[in-house]
Copies of this chain bind each other. A is one copy, B any other.
């Protein structure tokens, strides 16, 4: 693990690291914000999963999250969005392959060899964070768009493991929308029976844990009608009696300007759960 970037911000340290990932079979990068803290302290960790085309850089440069994390005393971890490199399968589209890992474990060729972002996010990365940083084992998870899908799926598949989950503009029902159908067909194959294990709306129906979910969605989001469809998740939550706070925000779009506006509230939501 090698530190390749470091900056002081809001009294803490924003760093970027690269390492050889055993899970993904390639070099990976992740970003970590560690707030100023007492010597020997162990801080809870919020994992942020970014959307299509993003790297570990987008969230740390554009969301303005460090200000709130510094006040709350929480570590922020932002990984890259897929395996990368010359030997890693890719696609010409922005919505498949490198930059579009969808936080799942692929089963189909040519993806299955490297595309195991689910295992990376739930196992390898927390191991690195908890061994290499002043991190406790208290974890929560959030994300944006494809990363909102990732956060919801990971929290729902791992009851008890995350103290909180939230999402901005998430792909809540990938099996039912073009982005998800393209990715799932490639990564998981044409048999839709395999898709339900990676679809937050499908998982919600059988969730064993009633972890409250916070979702913010902009009403001027250009992907709202075709790709995001939060009403599908809302209906599933109502049917299952699962606690969901879905907030619709007039005039806000899909960008980091939207995320920046509400990230403080998400971090407060996570910090409260992590401290409980």
Contacts and interface: CB of A to CB of B under 8 A. Distances in A.
Interface of A: 7-11, 14, 61-62, 64, 66-67, 218, 220, 249, 251-253, 255-258, 260-261
Contacts of A7: 252-253, 255, 257-258
Q: How many copies of the polypeptide does the oligomer hold?
A: 2
Contacts of A260: 9-10, 64, 66-67
Nearest to A6: B253
Given A8-B251, A9-B260, A64-B64, 16 more contacts: A7-B253, A7-B255, A8-B218, A8-B220, A8-B252, A8-B261, A9-B258, A9-B261, A10-B260, A10-B261, A11-B261, A61-B61, A64-B67, A66-B257, A66-B260, A67-B260
Contacts of A62: 61-62
Contacts of A218: 8
A260 B66 CA distance: 9
6 contacts: A7-B257, A8-B218, A8-B252, A61-B62, A62-B62, A64-B64
